[in-house]
Chain A
Amino acid sequence: MPEISDLKLERYALGELPAAERHAIEALLKTDPALRERLNALEASNAAILRKTPPEIFAARLASRQRREAAESAMRARPDSSSALGFAAWKPLLGGLALLAVLAVPVSRTGLLGPRPGLGVSETEIRGVPASSLPEPPASTPATRGSPAAPSAPPGSPEPAPPAADPSGVAATTPAPDEGGVRLKGLEPHLAIFRKTPAGSEPLHPGQKTRPGEVLRIGYQSAGFPYGAILSVDGNGNVTRHWPASGERAARLEGGEALLPSSFELDAAPDYERFYFVVSKKPFALDPLLRSLHEHESLPEPGKALAGKEIRIVRFELLKETGI
């Protein structure tokens, strides 16, 4: 007599077996006390699980988890009003602020992407950047999404270098990587994503709607984590490496804020574009991350599965309007 698998028994209990298989199990149940016992145990387990976590409690927990994840994502990723990485439209707005910062507080403690609300002040100073030094995105020649035109590590390099210093760029104004891998207390790594507009650019927030053809540029705050990677997966399951563009290991990050050296154009993939910024104190291989994205279109929950390994995962999801 063939062993009835747990899956088959589960499906029988739920009434989801095809008629022939259902009848076969019903016949077996009359003659096989062990199978009857398994079914009874399954039904008792159902009741115990629902008693322990009733549906309304589960639904509330799930709603809470959704809110928490959305809030965490927004906290990590939302650029504040001084988040002017890269695009010209923010120069007029920031000019005054930056000038004030330069004149009144020669060394800003917040940096371009700003402090995260409620997270305190960094112990390590990060220089503010005058608005006039903000780089222009190469919007006239954006890379196709999936192959951002970023510099790659030289052959044989153990890990990719930080984003190349843009002649007018942020990279040149940010501090050197924290060689000891000492994190900046109170500062969290996060992403900032900007969209090109006719007038210049605008920062995007998690959950914001975007369209195919729009040109985006990514910036990050490493918060002192020396190694990292920026990847994304779209609604078709296609995975894109934004940084580093090549190599098998995570890139060496700028010690504070940096703007990736190229912009890219969104393609027509539907539903969403989900970005991940993974940082670590130690070098790490990209392959497991890429595999996870290929297989699951996601990475482990931020701060959960990789806890204790000094790895942080930041997620930033944009929605896509494809007109379908």
Chain B
Amino acid sequence: MDTRNLEEWYRRYGPLVQRRCFQLLRDDEEAQDALQEVFMQILRRPELLEAEFASSLLYKIATNTCLNRLRGRNRRAETRDEALLLNIASEEDVEGRSASARLLDRIFGRHPESTRVMAVLHFVDGLTLEEVARETSLSVSGVRKRLRALKQTAEAGEAAHA
């Protein structure tokens, strides 16, 4: 990707990614850094932006990037939504620890989407199960099953820490 392409992609999608990162991280400086991180991933795989709906892809990459950052945070949530987000971020995906599928391929639709991203889309962003299913190329029942499993592991984790 040359500089001109990069500028065009940023002009088109940068604000979306920046907003998404700020929405999840609630910190302007960290959101800026996450925005750069997302585009660094794109620089390594520029063909991803050839996808029909690159906005959806970037939204999910940004979500995953932010979840990864939130996982390392050591602070108390100030709102219910933030608590939910931090809980999701701290969970491992229910598809298992040994899963080695590539993140970007998953997002690209060849493999199941990260359950954590699905959880954020549904529980935090308010997407319906049908919308999450469309975004992740899964069936509605598949999404429901994965979210239920994530919820169970979260509850088990909370019980263990209680």
Q: Which residues of A does B touch, CB under 8 Å? A: 2-3, 5-8, 10-11, 14, 16, 42, 45-46, 49-50, 53, 55-56, 58-59, 61-63, 65-66, 236-239, 287-288, 290-292, 294-297, 300-301, 304-306
User: Do A62 and B56 touch (CB < 8 A)?
Assistant: no
Q: Name B65's closest neighbour in chain A (CB-CB).
A: A296
Q: Which residue on chain A has the smallest CB distance to residue B18?
A: A49
Q: Which 5 A-B pairs have the closest CB atoms?
A: A55-B7, A237-B102, A49-B15, A46-B15, A305-B72
Is B94 part of the binding interface, using a Cβ–Cβ cutoff of 8 Å?
no
The residues of A that contact B6 with a CB separation of less than 8 Å are 55, 58-59, 62
Question: Which residues of chain B have C-beta atoms less than 8 A from A239's C-beta?
Answer: 100
Q: Which of B75-83, B120-128, B140-148, B150-158 forms part of the interface with chain A?
A: B120-128
Q: Please give the number of chain B residues whose Cβ is less than 8 angstroms from any Cβ of chain A in the complex.
A: 50
B99 touches A3 (CB 8 A): no
Could you tell me the distance between the alpha carbons of A300 and B39 in the complex, rounded to whole angstroms?
15
Given contacts A7-B135, A296-B103, contact A50 B15 (CB under 8 A): yes
Interface contact A62-B125, CB-CB below 8 Å: no
**Nearest residue, chain B, Cβ from A233:** B100
- A-B pairs with beta carbons under 8 A, tally: 112
Q: Which residues of B contact A297 (CB under 8 A)?
A: 102-103
B125 and A59: CB pair below 8 A?
no
Let me know if B27 is at the binding interface, CB within 8 A: no
The reply to whether B97 and A294 contact each other, CB–CB distance below 8 Å, is yes
Q: Is the CB of B3 within 8 A of A300?
A: no
Cβ contact of B92, chosen from A291, A296, A301, cutoff 8 A: A291
CB distance from A293 to the nearest CB of B (A): 9
Nearest-CB distance from A233 to chain B (Å)? 9
Least CB distance, B72 to chain A, in whole angstroms: 5
B102–A301 touching, CB < 8 Å: no
In the bound complex, how far is the Cα of B15 from the Cα of A6, in angstroms?
13
- Given the contacts A7-B121, A59-B3, A292 and B68 also touching, CB distance less than 8 Å: yes
Which one of B3, B11, B69, B103 lies within 8 Å of A63 (CB-CB)?
B3
Complex interface: chain A residues within 8 A of B11 (CB)? 50, 55
B137 interface residue per 8 A CB criterion: no
Q: Are A7 and B68 in contact (CB under 8 A)?
A: no
Whether B97 lies near A291 (C-beta < 8 A) is yes
Cβ A8 vs Cβ B131 within 8 A: yes
Chain A proximity of B95: nearest CB distance (Å): 10
A96 to B36, CA, bound (A): 47
What are 14 contact pairs spanning A and B, CB under 8 A?
A10-B16, A10-B59, A14-B13, A14-B55, A16-B53, A45-B15, A45-B19, A53-B32, A55-B14, A58-B10, A58-B39, A59-B3, A62-B43, A300-B69
B99 touches A294 (CB 8 A): yes
Q: How far is the CA of A177 from the CA of B97 in the complex (A)?
A: 32
Name, among A49, A61, A288, A291, the residue most crowded by chain B CB atoms within 10 Å (CB to CB). Answer: A49
Which of B36, B59, B69, B121 interacts with A61 by CB under 8 Å?
A: B36
Question: For residue A58, which residue of chain B has the nearest CB?
Answer: B10
Point out the residues of chain B lying under 8 angstroms from A8, CB to CB: 131
Cβ of A305: which chain B residues have Cβ within 8 Å of it? 69, 72
Shortest distance from the beta carbon of A229 to any chain B beta carbon, whole Å: 16
Inter-chain contact B125/A5, CB cutoff 8 Å: yes
Check B10–A59 contact: CB distance below 8 A.
yes
Contact A2 B33, CB 8 Å, known A14-B12, A237-B100: no
> CA separation between A305 and B12, bound complex, in Å?
28
Bound together, the chains give a CA A45 to CA B15 distance in angstroms of 7
Query: Which residues of chain B are within 8 angstroms of A42 by Cβ–Cβ distance?
Result: 19
- Residues of A within 8 Å of B93, CB to CB, are 295
Starting from the known contacts A237-B103, A305-B72, 7 additional A-B residue pairs (CB-CB under 8 Å) come to A5-B127, A7-B127, A59-B7, A65-B36, A290-B97, A292-B68, A296-B68
Q: Are A66 and B97 in contact (CB under 8 A)?
A: no
Question: What is the distance, in angstroms, from B116's C-beta to the closest C-beta of chain A?
Answer: 9
Report whether A301 and B37 are in contact in the complex, using a CB–CB cutoff of 8 Å.
Answer: yes
Q: How far is the CA of A10 from the CA of B43 in the complex (A)?
A: 22
Asked if B15 contacts A5 (CB within 8 A), the reply is no
The distance in angstroms between the C-alpha atoms of A239 and B98, with both chains bound, is 9
* Interchain CA distance A288-B56 in the complex, whole Å: 27
